[in-house]
Amino acid sequence: MKDFNGKLAVVTGGASGVGFAIGEALAKQGAKVVLTDIEQESLENSTALLANQSLDVFCKVADVSNIESMQELASWCDTEFGPVHLLFNNAGVAPAELLPIWDTKPNDWQWAYGVNVMGVLHGIQAFVPRMLAHGEESRVINTCSGNGAFINLPSTPIYTSSKASVSSITEVLKLQLEQADSNVKVSILFPGPHTVRTKLFSAERNRPEELARDPNAPEHPISSVEDMLEMMSSMGIEMETTEPEEVASFCLSQIQEGKYWINPINEKSEQAFKDRVESITSRSDLPNPNIF
């Protein structure tokens, strides 16, 4: 897709962070954008910010973990605007993980998988059949993470495994659509190359009551990127960060080039991935991934 002008794009997790930055970048290139999120006030404020710039941006609250909510969103888009050409399955959460995997609670898994995995699946199921039916050039972009797709950090078993699922789902979707000689193409986005300044670390703010965190679980020391930077600095590690706008710019440029892998270069992460692959092919012991 060389030109976004006149295209209709839907971005989940669009109230802030990478989702908002992608929506803004698309609108500035002439796309009509629908931002969707579960945070109504933040979503409306973000949409108004872009609309005040005379950008073609609209919003609708939707819960990616609920298939009926996503089907309703897809129907609303069709009715209000017509065919959707770009779907960014971007919404994601990171539970406050501190415990070993054997002490984790079902609610933590159900919440994270409901958003990170089922949210991607629901987006695909709600929008891809409609994309196939209208027959116009279209693309699905799923936001993933190198933590899960390429390496598995032992500190975040729930998040890591959920993103491993996203990687597999996206790859299978790409191959199936290619086998069908479809008009719908697929990309997988890895925000980076460094920790992105988003609200991911405070995702607990949107956690539903029925999947509440164990009140006896230890309090997590990190609730923002700044907390992460401070903690790493106390360990003598100076972390670099990436702004959401940089992710958005890189993402759109890669879509225009027709890329499946939207993955900026990070040498330390790539070396950790190579070490893991080497352990697989050589049948040697699995190394502890070192990304710092």
Express as a percent the part of the chain with pLDDT over 70.
100
pLDDT in tens, 105-160: 999 999 999 999 999 999 999 999 999 999 999 999 999 999 999 999 999 999 99
- Supply 38's token pair: 């579960």
| Helix (H), strand (E) at residue 22 | helix 17-28
Q: The pTM is what? A: 0.95
Distance of alpha carbon 107 from alpha carbon 25, whole angstroms: 35
Distance of alpha carbon 286 from alpha carbon 275, whole angstroms: 8
Under DSSP, the state recorded for 155 is T
Which of 57, 56, 55, 52 is CA-nearest to residue 14?
Answer: 57
162 within 8 A of 117, measured Cβ to Cβ: yes
CATH of the domain at 215: 3.40.50.720
Which of 253, 124, 120 is CA-nearest to residue 176?
Answer: 124
- How many domains are contained in the chain? 1
Look at residue 287 and tell me if it is in a domain: no
Distance of alpha carbon 38 from alpha carbon 40, whole angstroms: 6
Look at residue 261 and tell me if it is in a domain: yes
- Looking only at the bridges linking them, the beta strands covering 86-89 and 8-12 are parallel
Look at residue 280 and tell me if it is in a domain: no
- Domain span at 191: 8-266
- Supply 132's token pair: 């196939």
Buried/exposed code over 30-59 (b: 16+ C-beta within 10 A; e: otherwise): ebbbbbbbbbeebbeebbeebeeeebbbbb
Look at residue 271 and tell me if it is in a domain: no
In the set 58, 159, 190, 250, the catalytic residue is 159
pLDDT in tens, 156-187: 999 999 999 999 999 999 999 999 999 999 99
| Helix (H), strand (E) at residue 36 | strand 32-37
Single-letter amino acid, residue 101: I
Look at residue 289 and tell me if it is in a domain: no
Look at residue 262 and tell me if it is in a domain: yes
Where residue 42 falls among pLDDT bands split at 50, 70, 90?
very high
- Please, what is the average pLDDT of the chain? 95
Look at residue 278 and tell me if it is in a domain: no
30 within 8 A of 1, measured Cβ to Cβ: no
pLDDT in tens, 59-114: 999 999 999 999 999 999 999 999 999 999 999 999 999 899 999 999 999 999 99
Q: What are phi and psi of 259, to 5 degrees?
A: -80, 140
Q: What is the pLDDT of residue 55?
A: 97
Q: Is 260 a catalytic residue?
A: no
Helix 118-134 and helix 157-179: axis angle, to 10°? 20
Look at residue 96 and tell me if it is in a domain: yes
